[in-house]
Structure 1
Amino acid sequence: MVHNSQIDKASALVEAARKAGADSADAVIIRSRSVSVSVRLGKVEATEASENDDFSLRVFVGKKVASISANLSADPASLAERAVAMAKVSPENPFEGLADRSLLVKNPKDLDLYDPFVPDSERLTEEALEIENASLSVKGVTNSGGATSAYGSGGLVLVTSDGFCGSYQSSRFSYSCSALAGEGTAMERDYDYTTALHHEDLDKTTKIGKNAGERAVRRLNAQKPKTGTVNVIFEPRMARGIAGHIASMVNGAAVARKTSLLQNRMGEQIMKPTITITDQPLKKRGNASRPFDGEGVEGMALNIIENGVLEHWFLSSSVARELHLQTNGHGVRSASSVQPASTNFAIEPGNQTPEDMMKAIKTGFYVTELFGHGVDLVTGQYSRGASGFWIENGELAYPVSEVTLGSNLIDMLSHLTPASDIDRRYGTAAPTLLIEGMTLAGK
């Protein structure tokens, strides 16, 4: 996937930038391949394939920076000259620059991110049909929303004028399925999916199809409970969204822009003392692992929140300089800059099983789907449409739909309790979560 010719191309770009007058430079080449097959009602609906080879050159002239992107056939010298010319007329940014040379990783780790198995379209079609057949076999399923099997692979090369030269490649496989139950206005839809870097780590095709069908059937004959304050349990699939909001709030770029709710809370207790939130860039086979970040720095394993106390931001070099800190290797290359981001981010599990957590609730709401975009990460306001199941005396009583959940993210953090279950295959992972005292708008 990653060839010496690509490394040579990136090196040539950096060298051309120096000759054109850049004080320093780096070049990134990203190669991606993907293919997917979607079926519906036993027939292939779509077969899609794509191939992309892109690179970007970033040059620095003093504290001025510019970036240019093109395809691999472009002439390095002319691109470098254009990039340097752009940088010279750009405004100065005192925080821009390559990562500190002393922080560059010398020997990037092999994280087992690449599976050499490449399924052909026939194999993908067979898998998609197996998924759909499993969903249609569920009693109560009346139609199919379709099923998809997909494969992708990618490679990344990074070369800097400070002597870093690194590359890695990864693969990705996924299954998904959507099923419908009921008829007419009473029809309900639900889905299931699985994704992994290695094919053998995927859930079985029949499991995905069956889960999608069973989830759709369970949603039939939904009711709307009364408006009030309730304790809410988020199933892991929805809990990952809560984790994603937290990851955004601890992003150093948001802190530097003064748009993070937590910007003045470093070192403070913001969650219960039993809660720890981690980020693991170097996890073997991790869905979001990388042996080095977008600047050539090995990512640090972080306890972002430890025993409920906020301990770290995600940092790239430029953001770290702005905050008078040192990068922790969480920079991701975008078109014109490197911005911090999470890797394998997880709300660590607690000691209570999801079953015991539910048994302790007299009345409450178990959320299986959220929709809408009513989350403001600046003000903290949280308002989203939701569906799921009403909890009575510690058990699921009946399906719920067309309600709205409201709260404030800061309050949600302080009233959050994780259960003991977690699926770490996802780049953002969370167990079942209980959040006490949310507002439910129903009938």
Structure 2
Amino acid sequence: MSSNKHSGQLIETAARIVEVAKRKGADAADVVVSEGVSNSVSVRDGARENAQASENRGFSLRVFSGARVASVSTNTDDDVEGLVDRALAMARVSPEDPYASLADKDRLARDAADLELYDSTAVSTEALAERALAAEEAALSVAGVTKSSGAGAGHGEIGFALVTSDGFTGGYRRSYFSTSVSVVAGEGSSMQRDHDYDARAHNSDLRPPEEIGRQAGERAVARLSPRQMETRRGASVLFEARQARSLVGHLAGAISGSAVARKTSFLRDSLGKQVLRSGIDLIDDPAIARGAGSQPFDGEGVESRRLAMVEDGILQQWFLSTALGRELGFETNGRGTRSGNSLSASPTNLSLEPGDRTPEELMKEIGSGLYVTELIGQGVNMVTGEYSRGASGFWIENGEIAYPVAQVTIAGNLKDMFMAMTPASDIDRLYSIAAPSILVEGLTLAGR
């Protein structure tokens, strides 16, 4: 079935529920209908381990009764009348919310662009198994790799429709394809594990399974015989792009309107102030073709536009929905996000814009430091910015990778770390959080 036909069916269902809500006395209402299908296969040691297929559908109704609001969810539309009755009963006994409402009509998206989010390519379970097996075989063929921790491949699609009583109607679908593999190198107590993966909206954009497997194997072998390093202060740390994305994720969390409103962000008083070095931009762009976080409109139907969240190092705005914007004294910027019954705000395709030097050039510039290829644990306090995470990777000496290191703890404060970041030139914009490799100077490395 075509993407447009699927979306049309979802929109029809949402519109029917909104119509019932209005008929039963709701002052305003909106409905989200979502559905998804997925198929995945995992293999180990050249044999299929398991195959999984799933289908899900969800309905979320939000109703307004004066300044009171309530939301209910269900996975079936068999009893729309009962769903609406429950929502209205909850709204009438809920406390008044001075900020909640449907989005302003003049902010709604009218002409949704085709962002190429849906690929109708059919990938059979057999083809998924072949991909996973090819990735595992390529990884095991790397000299030094001793066993597989498993490989997998998947394919799925998600549909989303939103209808509001103010006249907004919209829907879209997105597809995804993925391949991953994890392997072990070495024997006994000296074993090291690593992995590689790829996930894309279009099948043709997915890296070949053989490449994914080979890189997983090479990464694992490169980590053999790691050393423990001495504790150092004021060290230079280069986060490879795969790990640097977590730093951008922490920045996104710190400039979320939800965190600012709750006073749980260490950047809550930083609007209009410098949070990154001069010359560095943080861009959120929902209109990237085939982007993992692309969307023609947000969870409230508001048009999603490209935003400079940080420009020339200066924090320009928070991620906002309609309610969060009102609470903080702003208008929504089209970043409302629906999740079940909740509506918050989050980025779409967020990227720390790259610099003009390669990771290798940054290594030569710093001379010595840590090149991080794995981060462990969740030691980040978003209220204070304190950062402490386990890491492993490679020591840089004389501007080049010298030997692997493990059992390192990186410590600092995100506020200081953001001001000390230098982005490299490598970046993959098809991830929803995109970052090049990032050099951070002045960190403490706790070793033996």
Number of the residue aligned with 1:183: 187
* Paired AA for residue 358 in structure 2: T
Q: Which residue pairs with 1:278 in the alignment?
A: 283
For 2:173 and 2:10, locate their aligned partners in 1 and report how far apart those are by CA, in whole Å. Answer: 13
Q: Deviations over 1:56-75 (max 9, x none)?
A: 10101111111111123322
Counterpart AA for 2:8: N
Provide Cα deviations, 1:348-407, integer angstroms capped at 9, x if missing partner.
001111111001122200000001110111111100000000111101111000110000
**Equivalent residue number for residue 31 of structure 1:** 35
Q: Does 2:243 align with 1:245?
A: no
Q: Percent identity?
A: 52
Instruction: Note the 1:9-408 alignment, pairs <5 A.
Output: 9-229=13-233, 230-408=235-413
- Going from structure 1 to structure 2, the CA distance change for 1:97 and 1:337 (only over 3 Å counts) comes to farther
Cα contact 2:10–2:34 (8 A) shared by 1:
no
Q: Which residue of 1 aligns with 2:435?
A: 430
Instruction: State the AA in 1 paired with 2:192.
Output: E
Q: Distance in 1 between matches of 2:215 and 2:82?
A: 55
Distance 1:3 1:261 in 2: 40
SS in 2 for 1:242: helix
Checking the alignment, whether the CA contact within 8 Å between 2:240 and 2:438 is kept in structure 1 is yes
Structure 2: distance between partners of 1:231 and 1:279: 28
- Given that 2:7 and 2:171 are in contact with CA atoms closer than 8 Å, whether structure 1 keeps it comes out as no
Deviations 1:285-329 (A, max 9, x none): 111001010000111211111111111111100000101111110
Of 418, 423, 428 in structure 2, the residue corresponding to residue 418 of structure 1 is 423
- Report if aligned partners of 1:420, 1:432 keep a CA contact under 8 Å in 2: yes
TM-score (norm 2): 0.98
Task: Tell me the distance in 1 between the aligned counterparts of 2:372 and 2:170.
Answer: 43
Note the C-alpha offset of 1:253.
Answer: 1.0
Cα distance in 2 for partners of 1:258, 1:300 equals 27
Letter of the 2:184 counterpart: L
Cα offsets for 1:254-289 (capped at 9, x unmatched): 111111111111111121112111000111111100
Answer whether contact 1:275 1:306 (CA < 8 A) is retained. yes
Q: Counterparts of 2:67 and 2:40 in 1: how far apart (Å)?
A: 44
Q: Is the 8 A contact 1:271 1:309 kept in 2?
A: yes
Shift in Å at residue 221 of structure 1?
0.3
Q: Which whole-Å CA distance do the structure 2 matches of 1:3 and 1:237 have between them?
A: 34
1:306 maps to a residue whose letter is E
- Unaligned stretches of 5+ in structure 2? none
**Does the CA-based 8 Å contact 1:131-1:177 persist in structure 2?**
yes
Superposed displacement of residue 106, structure 1: 1.1
Long gaps (5+) in structure 1? none
**Contact 1:219 / 1:399 at 8 angstroms: preserved in 2?**
yes
d(CA) in 2 for partners of 1:360 and 1:36? 44
What is the identity, as a one-letter code, of the residue corresponding to 1:278?
I
Offset at residue 3 of structure 1 (A)? 4.6
User: Secondary structure at the residue paired with 2:330?
Assistant: coil
Q: CA RMSD in A?
A: 0.9
TM superposition shift of 1:6: 2.5
What is the total number of aligned residue pairs between the two structures?
Answer: 443
Task: Measure the CA separation in 1 of the matches of 2:10 and 2:368.
Answer: 59
In 1, distance between residues paired with 2:301 and 2:335?
10
